[in-house]
Amino acid sequence: MTLPEMKYPLSRDQLLDLYYFMKLTRELDEQLVRLFRQNKVVGGLYSSIGQEASAVGTAYTLEKRDWIAPMIRNVGGLLVKGFRPRDILMQYMARSGAPTGGKDGTSHFGDLQDRHVVSPISMLGDLIPVMTGVAMGGRYLGQKIVTMTWIGDGGTSTGAFHEGMNLAAAQHAPFVCVVENNQWAYSTPVARQVPLKNLADRARAYGIPGYVVDGNDVIAVYQATKEAVELARRGEGPVLVESKTMRMKGHAQHDPAGYVPPEMFEYWKARDPLALYEKWLTENKVWDKKAKDEIEARIERELKEDIEIAEASPLPNAEEAERGVYCEGCHTIEAHWERPIAEVQPPKASVQPVWTVPDFGALNNARGSAPAAAASAPDDGARAEAHSNSSAKSAPAGSGAPKRPARAEARPKGRR
């Protein structure tokens, strides 16, 4: 067996791993629908059918130390990051054994210590500045991490998305934002959000790279996102990756999605990410029937076990409702330093607090010239001049802070 050549190679085990996670996501989704119909799911049920390649292929590019925050359709990302189906099942079933113990539902949970997962909230866009902050914090601590989150096509219209991306760009934060363009925001088609062909163009407002990728092709998703992650880890700042895919169900179980043209579902059904990947694995002889059957048997076994565990978990005790509003000694809060602390303390930390503005912001057009329709594209030149947060002096070696000369940064000589 020779695997197809890729810029970021994947081993056979990894290729099968991707399949495992995608298939597990799909099967878990379907089991949840079954449980929903049995009235065992509390509240709404959100499906990611059709988007498995997008969630799994992106999250799979990360290392253990890296951080994610999942949105509602990124159960695949949670699985890749080490959560188990039981966690998701118990969240949806509001059981005491769930990661939040029933305090919150769906994918609204996380793990700061081991898996480095931040819990989302319902308000779209809010995770973008938060994961920018996790990235900034990680760089300050010397951790060489990358952070990632996902946002829907609709979510890119929020103010929080803009402020977060903008801060990430201004800070050159090691952050990857995956825009999952699944064509719909609830009942609203993407063209109604903004007259753009590619949501990757949102990146142009921040002078950062924006990639477009076929979100139903898990290998393509992995390759594009891996490149973004590498860029971010090297300290070149945030990257936006638009993953084009399709939400194959309604917004949630209650929504029959009657507003979606039926032919649109047909079109995308022929591009089912699991079917496409199965075909790819077969055509490239990565697996045989036995390997496939093994994975599927494993998934069936694991899901069965986890559903049993979930169903056996009782609902929480009522008194729990009163607890936990404040942290009262239940958590020890400690930063995880991977650089010498002396670097961030005076006198080592000290700088000259002045700005330089090399070109004074001058317009390079001739006076009185006619307006050029649309300014120049954000190119490498623009990036090279972009401001960096860390002056050469205070930047920790290899901390991921950019090395390039900054446009407005501490000047060597003192002023004011």
The rounded distance, in Å, linking the Cα atoms of 80 and 19 is 11
Task: Check if 247 is active-site.
Answer: yes
Surface-to-core class of residue 33, CB atoms within 10 Å of its CB (0-12 exposed, 13-18 middle, 19+ buried) = middle
Single residue of 152, 210, 396, 400 touching ligand TPP by CB under 6 A = 152
Stretch 62-121 residues interacting with ligand TPP (CB under 6 A): 73
Single residue of 147, 182, 225, 243 touching Mg ion by CB under 5 A = 182
349 part of the interface to another protein, by CB under 8 A = yes
List Cα–Cα distances, 278 to 30, 270, 283, in angstroms.
18, 13, 9
Supply the Cα-derived Rg of the chain in whole angstroms. 23
Q: Which does 186 bind (CB under 5 to 8 A by kind): ligand TPP, Mg ion, a copy of itself, none?
A: ligand TPP
247 part of the interface to ligand TPP, by CB under 6 A = yes
Residue listed under structure tokens 């994610």:
68
102 part of the interface to another protein, by CB under 8 A = yes
The rounded distance, in Å, linking the Cα atoms of 150 and 128 is 8
Half-sphere exposure at residue 76, Cβ-oriented, CA atoms within 13 angstroms: 30
Q: Which span (51-59, 115-123, 240-248, 272-280) binds another protein, by CB under 8 A?
A: 115-123
Is the Cα dihedral 245, 248, 249, 250 positive or negative?
A: positive
3-class SS of residue 244: strand
Surface-to-core class of residue 76, CB atoms within 10 Å of its CB (0-12 exposed, 13-18 middle, 19+ buried) = buried
Shortest Å distance, C-beta 225 to a copy of itself: 8
Going by the DSSP 8-state scheme, the letter that residue 198 receives in this structure is -
290 part of the interface to a copy of itself, by CB under 8 A = no
* Per annotation, catalytic residue among 84, 251, 407, 411: 251
Pick the closer one to Mg ion by CB: 180 or 217: 180
Residue listed under structure tokens 């990051």:
81
Task: Check if 186 is active-site.
Answer: no
Stretch 377-406 residues interacting with Mg ion (CB under 5 A): none
Angle (CA) 208-211-2 rounded to 5° is 135
Contact present, 23 and 295 (Cβ < 8 Å) = yes
Task: Check if 251 is active-site.
Answer: yes
Binding mask 123-152 for another protein (x = CB under 8 A): xx-x-xxxxxxxxxxx-xx-----x-----
Binding mask 149-178 for Mg ion (x = CB under 5 A): ---xx-------------------------
CB atoms within 10 A of CB 400: 26
DSSP string, 113-125: TTT-BPPP-SSTT
Q: Which span (9-17, 29-37, 222-230, 287-295) binds a copy of itself, by CB under 8 A?
A: 222-230
> Helix 52-59 vs helix 218-233: angle between axes, to the nearest 10 degrees?
30
Q: Which does 85 bind (CB under 5 to 8 A by kind): Mg ion, another protein, ligand TPP, none?
A: none
Shortest Å distance, C-beta 379 to another protein: 22
Shortest Å distance, C-beta 21 to a copy of itself: 19
Shortest Å distance, C-beta 109 to another protein: 5
The rounded distance, in Å, linking the Cα atoms of 228 and 59 is 12
Single residue of 96, 158, 198, 253 touching ligand TPP by CB under 6 A = 158
269 part of the interface to a copy of itself, by CB under 8 A = no
Q: Which span (32-40, 184-192, 264-272, 323-331) binds Mg ion, by CB under 5 A?
A: 184-192
Binding mask 184-203 for a copy of itself (x = CB under 8 A): -----xxxxxxxxxx-xxxx
138 part of the interface to ligand TPP, by CB under 6 A = no
The rounded distance, in Å, linking the Cα atoms of 12 and 34 is 33
Q: How many residues bind ligand TPP (CB under 6 A)?
A: 16
3-class SS of residue 178: strand
Which residues, in sequence order, are CB contacts of 319 under 8 Å at separation 6+? none
Reading the block at residue 23, the tokens are 């298939």
Binding site for Mg ion (CB under 5 A): 152-153, 182, 185
Instruction: Show which residues are catalytic.
Output: 247, 251, 259
Binding site for ligand TPP (CB under 6 A): 73, 122-124, 152-155, 158, 180, 182, 184-186, 247, 251
